[in-house]
Structure 1
Amino acid sequence: MKTIQVDVAVIGGGTAGMTAHRAARLDGKRVVMIESGPYGTTCARVGCMPSKLLIAAAEAAHAVAAAPAFGVFPGPVKIDGKQVMARVRSERDRFVGFVLEGVEAIPEAEKLQGHARFLAPNRLQVDDHTIVEAGSVVIATGSTPIVPPEWQAAGERVINSDAVFDWTDLPASVAVVGSGVIGLELGQALARLGVRVSLFARGTKLAQLSDPRVLQEAATVLAKELDIRFQTSVARVEKALDGAGILLTSRDGEGQEKTESFEYLLAAIGRSPNVHDIGLDAAHIELDRHGIPVYDKHTMQCGTSAIFIAGDVDNDVPLLPEAADEGRIAGDNAARYPQVTPGLRRTPLAIAFSEPQIATVGATYQQLSISHSGHFAIGSVSFSNQGRSRVMLQNQGLLRVYAEFGSKRFLGAEMIGPRAEHLGHLLAWACQAELTVPAMLEMPFYHPVIEEGVRTALRALVAHLDTEPEHVADCADCTPAP
């Protein structure tokens, strides 16, 4: 077994790990990146890119089906599942190829293949071939989809979202368990491509929404085309007698059970950080009750140690832009340790590519209800009669915007509506710039565009701000925690 000395060791070669490696290298440090699996990020291989390819195919099918409402009659829709999945896999491989080109550009001396475990805070063992002694370490080991063992016992037809993108054809039916972003996006896309889909949600949540009115609108709109079973849990999962599928027994809120057959069960109930097999006990850092290292989200430092963390493994916000930002901050600080400084944390922005799209910006309704109880105003707009939305026959959804009494500073928004990905970016920029609502209303709005709906909501928000409760002064000290 050989021993190498480096300034910074990065465990993980995904988005966070590659960004941390690059940041530390730019600081002139000797760096090694350790990866136990195939190179290529979660986003490129099994996440944001292949899912959007499947969604794009579903949108094309839906556009043809919706065309008669415009007086356009294209004829019967035929969906070739093999061709759909062939394009998904081909383009997925192309995106992975771009990532691999970046990996190949890294000098061989700066890459190690194998599983890393801590032997001490500054000492790692990689498989049975290398000891790495490092001045500092970045943990960027990512996460793994959760599939309960009792479900796995039903056989290979119980899958996680990663397996979807290796299909060579579309199945006849899928039970999607979980109403988060992944379950909602894949469930609706498969349904639009002719797959019989039932989506099971233990509660009443959808995607990342927390505003009760937006949630209610989302449930109403999405249920028009998707079989969503709210407040329904999975009681049992069994292999079908013919071995060609699974039998799922669900239990609704009243305790009633129902058994149905599906070709596949897609578990979309969350992801588990990959922290439980890397020897954290030898790292001598504080762990929370889930076994995740306790860290400062502005520096990504674990306590006062020379160990930093970034990406999905920290169990915070499992999104590629967040992983990249965290990787950059962790890599910079690992390279400069013990001179650790806060890095740029951008305004939170999360998007679900359902139809209509769902977006949250800045502080959520749930967060503000705690940090700003009684101190924030709300404005809203329905897209049902919004001009451009009606033109496109996409006139459904709701936008709710939030601002602080006194300062009138824009705080955040939650929405389901047409082209919410663009509205979300517009509002995220305003939030990060700390604009007031009156200042936002001074910005240009063209006609006719979806963004006019934002102006309507902001006008309603100003009207609410002008009815400021008497007990609220200037609120200069009641801004959300950073």
Structure 2
Amino acid sequence: MKQIQADVVVIGGGTAGMGAFRNALRHTDNVYLIENNVFGTTCARVGCMPSKLLIAAAEARHHALHTDPFGIHLDKDSVNVNGEEVMNRVKSERDRFVGFVLEDVEAWPEEKRIMGSAKFIDEHTIQVDDHTTIKADRIVIATGSHPIVLPGWRKELGDKLIINDDVFSWNTLPESVAVFGPGVIGLELGQALHRLGVKVEIFGASDRIAAIDDPIVSEEAIRIFSEEIPLHLDCSTEVKLNDQGKVEVCWDSKDGSRGTYVADYLLAAIGRHPNVEKLGLENLDIELDNKGVPKAHPLTMQTSIPHIFIAGDASNQIPLLHEASDQGKIAGDNAGLYPNIENGLRRSPMGVVFTSPQIAFVGLKYNQVMERFKNPECLIIGEVSFKNQGRSRVMLVNKGHMRIYAEQGTGLFVGAEMVGPAVEHLAHLLAWAHQQKMTIPQMLDMPFYHPVIEEGLRTALRDVNKQLRLGMQSNECAECPGA
């Protein structure tokens, strides 16, 4: 068995792992990167990029079918979807994005890239399959995550059970899909497939969609998406293959409704779990969370074993590419600098769901705000409906609702949740304001053009501003931790 002595070993060649490897190399060239499958990142191969390609195709068909209100009348029978052409473009462009990633990987010395499954033997020793043992001074865990699949599904459904990875391997589109999980992945793919002409119904065990916390925003989002796609929320289900080899879902909702849905596939989108089960963590005296994942300091990515760091989806923090990239940089720098540890830059939280209308959050979400501000008088909530917002009505995308959270007395902007047209752009503006710790009056001093959707944001900010009592913060409010 090959023996290697390393300064730093990075386990995992995804976004976080590549970032950690790249940044560790700034401090030492004795760094190794282990990958057990393929390089190329989840985002590029089976995540954010191919899903957006599918969504773009879906939007093209949707717009073509909804031109009548503008006085533009098309022959609807001529709007045909060629499933093979749709999937060819998705896969072709996906491969292009992956290619860019692989160019970076292949520029690194081949002897520094080790293929195989890594396992801890002790806190300084990693074994890769049965061919390599690495003694490392510092280690970064960046093993990513995998979709959660209920055990009974795989046994009962066989190849009729799919995850999002499988969607992007299709050569054409199926006739019908049952989506389990109305979260980010399930809602994005479910709506995209529906708009491409695939029959879709979405099932969820809770009454939430896309991880929206705010009850007003949630109610509006459920209303909007229920008008387009059958949503069966807060329901119990039984799944089996029927005599025709189709997926049969019998569902029973808490509101008393029930029914049966038959589909070609069941798409499992009920969440993801960090890839830590086969890492040999039982051989380490390392502090784990309630999901069996190593705990890490959010500013240093350092675990309870000082020379071991963790980053990206494996860290069980925020499973988003930009977060994985930041965490990988921090972990790589600190592994390279160890024992000198520095706090890294953690940006204001931001998330976007690329449905139509889009869903987004910035800073603190509603439940976090309610936890932080024990006294409701210390919190101000401003809001706007997009139903009558000028630019939104012009484009006939006037659906949605935004809620802005601010601290009474100081006017500090602390967070927002929203569903609405092109809110990916509003979310960025708000994230920049949040990271700069701007107050509501300062945000209102910024320029707003006319007519733009951003004027809806200004309306919500004005709603907050009129409730503000600047300088009137009570002693109870001063004791709230705020943002």
Q: TM-score, normalised by structure 2?
A: 0.96
Secondary structure at 2:25 match in 1: helix
The match for 1:127 is: 129
Q: How many residues align?
A: 478
Decide whether the 8 Å contact of 1:33 with 1:111 is kept in 2: yes
Query: Within the alignment, does 1:422 sit opposite 2:425 as a pair?
Result: yes
Once the two structures are superposed, the pairs formed by residues 183-194 of structure 1 within 5 Å of their partners are: 183-194=186-197
- 1:304 deviates by 4.4
User: Which of the residues 445, 448, 453 maps onto 1:445?
Assistant: 448
Q: Which amino acid counterpart does residue 265 of structure 1 have in structure 2? A: L
| Greater mean alpha carbon deviation, residues 298-307 or residues 40-49 | 298-307
Structure 2: distance between partners of 1:93 and 1:233: 38
Decide whether the 8 Å contact of 2:119 with 2:280 is kept in 1: yes
The match for 1:432 is: 435
Once the two structures are superposed, the pairs formed by residues 202-221 of structure 1 within 5 Å of their partners are: 202-221=205-224
The match for 1:412 is: 415
Structure 2: distance between partners of 1:262 and 1:474: 53
Structure 2: distance between partners of 1:473 and 1:277: 48
Q: Which amino acid counterpart does residue 142 of structure 1 have in structure 2? A: G
Decide whether the 8 Å contact of 1:249 with 1:259 is kept in 2: yes
The match for 1:347 is: 348
Q: Which amino acid counterpart does residue 385 of structure 1 have in structure 2? A: N
- 1:338 deviates by 1.4
- 1:309 deviates by 0.2
Structure 2: distance between partners of 1:468 and 1:163: 56
Structure 1: distance between partners of 2:127 and 2:481: 47
Decide whether the 8 Å contact of 2:209 with 2:222 is kept in 1: yes
Cα distance change on mapping 1:137 and 1:62 into 2, 3 Å: same
Cα distance change on mapping 1:276 and 1:35 into 2, 3 Å: same
Decide whether the 8 Å contact of 1:380 with 1:460 is kept in 2: yes
User: Which of the residues 94, 107, 115 maps onto 2:109?
Assistant: 107
Decide whether the 8 Å contact of 2:410 with 2:470 is kept in 1: no
Structure 2: distance between partners of 1:13 and 1:398: 39
Structure 2: distance between partners of 1:263 and 1:469: 61
Q: Which amino acid counterpart does residue 356 of structure 1 have in structure 2? A: P
- 1:479 deviates by 2.4
Structure 2: distance between partners of 1:173 and 1:185: 16
Q: TM-score, normalised by structure 1?
A: 0.97
Decide whether the 8 Å contact of 1:380 with 1:401 is kept in 2: yes
- 1:289 deviates by 2.3
Query: Within the alignment, does 1:11 sit opposite 2:11 as a pair?
Result: yes
Structure 2: distance between partners of 1:247 and 1:388: 43
* Percent of pairs with identical residues: 52
Structure 2: distance between partners of 1:81 and 1:289: 43
The match for 2:381 is: 378
- 1:477 deviates by 6.3
Structure 1: distance between partners of 2:453 and 2:83: 33
Q: Which amino acid counterpart does residue 9 of structure 2 have in structure 1? A: A
Deviation string for 1:116-156 (max 9, x for gaps)?
00011011000111111111000000111011110111210
Structure 2: distance between partners of 1:212 and 1:6: 51
Decide whether the 8 Å contact of 1:208 with 1:360 is kept in 2: no
The match for 1:147 is: 149
Q: Which amino acid counterpart does residue 213 of structure 1 have in structure 2? A: I
- 1:2 deviates by 1.1
Cα distance change on mapping 1:248 and 1:473 into 2, 3 Å: closer
Decide whether the 8 Å contact of 1:406 with 1:472 is kept in 2: no
Structure 2: distance between partners of 1:213 and 1:449: 24
The match for 2:280 is: 279
Secondary structure at 1:438 match in 2: helix
Once the two structures are superposed, the pairs formed by residues 299-378 of structure 1 within 5 Å of their partners are: 299-373=300-374, 374=376, 375-378=378-381
- 1:464 deviates by 1.8
The match for 1:229 is: 232
Secondary structure at 1:220 match in 2: helix
Q: Which amino acid counterpart does residue 188 of structure 1 have in structure 2? A: Q
- 1:256 deviates by 6.0
- 1:352 deviates by 0.1
The match for 1:177 is: 180
Structure 2: distance between partners of 1:32 and 1:362: 36
Decide whether the 8 Å contact of 1:347 with 1:432 is kept in 2: yes
- 1:470 deviates by 7.0
Structure 2: distance between partners of 1:454 and 1:255: 39
The match for 1:28 is: 28
Secondary structure at 1:156 match in 2: helix
Q: Which amino acid counterpart does residue 37 of structure 2 have in structure 1? A: G
Deviation string for 1:205-264 (max 9, x for gaps)?
111310000000101111111111111132x22123122x21122221156653321100
Structure 2: distance between partners of 1:254 and 1:351: 30
- 1:269 deviates by 0.1
Structure 2: distance between partners of 1:476 and 1:90: 55
Secondary structure at 1:250 match in 2: strand
Secondary structure at 2:466 match in 1: helix
Question: Which ranges of structure 1 fall in alignment gaps of 5 or more residues?
Answer: none
Query: Within the alignment, does 1:387 sit opposite 2:390 as a pair?
Result: yes
Structure 2: distance between partners of 1:151 and 1:255: 25
Structure 2: distance between partners of 1:472 and 1:369: 18
Structure 1: distance between partners of 2:151 and 2:47: 23
Q: Which amino acid counterpart does residue 202 of structure 1 have in structure 2? A: A
Deviation string for 1:266-308 (max 9, x for gaps)?
0100011110101012232111221111211111000142100
